[in-house]
C-alpha cells in the first residue's frame, strides 16, 4: 500500500474483533475526545470532562466558549454520549459520583484510539 499510516489503518479496519458499536462511538467528536482524554488520564469526573471538552471543541472554532456552551455539552454527555460509550464498552461510569473510568481495553481498541488521535491532528 502507501504510507505507514494507511497500512496501519488497513490492518485496523480488517480487525474483526472491533464491533460496530466501537465505530459508532468513534463517529462523534465529543466521544472521541472523551476517549482521548481517558487515554491521558485513567479517570475523570463528568464536570472536569465538560470543562476539557468545551475548551477543546470551541478552540477549533477560534472563539471563546460560553457557560451555555459548557452546559449544553454537559447535558449531551449525560443524555447520549456516556450511554453510547458505555454500550460499546469503552468507558465505565459511576452515575452517583459522575466519574468516568477507562476500563481495560483490548489491544485492538487501544491501537485504533491511538491511530485516531494521531491522525485527528496530523501528529
Q: Which residue range is the domain that position 56 belongs to?
A: 4-121
Domain tally, the chain: 1
44-68: average pLDDT: 90
Asked if residue 123 lies in contact with residue 58, where contact means CB atoms within 8 angstroms, the answer is no
CATH number for position 101: 1.10.10
Q: How confident is the model at residue 1 (pLDDT cuts 50, 70, 90)?
A: very low
Q: How confident is the model at residue 5 (pLDDT cuts 50, 70, 90)?
A: low
Residues in contact with 77: Cβ distance below 8 Å, sequence separation at least 6, in sequence order: 30, 34, 46, 49, 50, 53
pLDDT for 58 equals: 86
Q: What is the pTM assigned to this prediction?
A: 0.87
pLDDT for 19 equals: 87
Burial of 109 (0-12, 13-18, 19+ CB in 10 A): buried
Amino acid at each position: 500500500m502507501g504510507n505507514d499510516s494507511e497500512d496501519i489503518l488497513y490492518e485496523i479496519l480488517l480487525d474483526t474483533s472491533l464491533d460496530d458499536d466501537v465505530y459508532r462511538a468513534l463517529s462523534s467528536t465529543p466521544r472521541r475526545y472523551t476517549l482521548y482524554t481517558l487515554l491521558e488520564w485513567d479517570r475523570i469526573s463528568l464536570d472536569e470532562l465538560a470543562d476539557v471538552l468545551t475548551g477543546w471543541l470551541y478552540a477549533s472554532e477560534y472563539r471563546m466558549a460560553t457557560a451555555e456552551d459548557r452546559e449544553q455539552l454537559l447535558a449531551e454527555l449525560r443524555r447520549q454520549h456516556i450511554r453510547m460509550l458505555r454500550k460499546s464498552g469503552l468507558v465505565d461510569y459511576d452515575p452517583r459520583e459522575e466519574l468516568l473510568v477507562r476500563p481495560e481495553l483490548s489491544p485492538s481498541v487501544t491501537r485504533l484510539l491511538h491511530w485516531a488521535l494521531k491522525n485527528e491532528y496530523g501528529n
